[in-house]
Amino acid sequence: MKFRDALITDLPEIVAIYNSTVAGRLVTADTEPVSVASKEEWFHKHTPARRPLWMVENEQNQVIGWVSFQDFYGRPAYNGTAEISIYLHQSARGKGLGKEILNYIFCKCACLEIHTLLGFIFAHNEPSIRLFLKTGFKEWAHLKEIAVMDDRRYSLKIFGKQIEI
């Protein structure tokens, strides 16, 4: 597996992978597919040195997913805290790649000056919860029934991990 900084030309593939998760109601709170244009501002908020957006490729240089680091809460005291998002191509899911990706992220936190990682995961997303717990995250919050999709309420859990930098 290889990681590289995303280019603006990767945005259609990023959006396609993201949109492949919308209908399942397991990963994202978006209820309809998003457009490439709607994600341009989000894309430009990423910076390789501080809050990267990485493309994940296999040995054949095919994109199998992406990883995003985002600011938490936008205040200076939280500069060392980042929310991470991992999205895999449908064909790459369920193969143990998430653990490898998280281990790579942990190794890069010092360079990015990140001491705390957060993951926001729907309470019914058991595969992601198992992955985060298996890699040392702890449940730090449970926000009961705060999302509404298809007239159903869903809870959100926040998982956190302190990283030694």
Per-residue tokens: 140: 């730090």
Q: What is the count of structural domains for the chain?
A: 1
- Report strand pairing: 53-57 vs 63-71: antiparallel
Give the separation between CA 43 and CA 87, rounded to whole angstroms. 15
**Domain at 127, CATH number:** 3.40.630.30
Render each residue's pLDDT in the chain as its tens digit; 165 residues: 999 999 999 999 999 999 999 999 989 999 999 999 999 999 999 999 999 999 999 999 999 999 999 999 989 999 999 999 999 999 999 899 999 999 999 999 999 999 999 999 999 999 999 999 999 999 999 999 999 999 999 999 999 999 987
Residue 77 one-letter amino acid = A
For residue 135, give its domain range: 2-162
pTM score: 0.94
Number of C-alpha atoms within 13 angstroms, CB side, residue 160? 12
Cβ–Cβ contacts within 10 Å for residue 91, how many?
A: 9
Q: What pLDDT was estimated at residue 74?
A: 86
Q: What pLDDT was estimated at residue 165?
A: 77
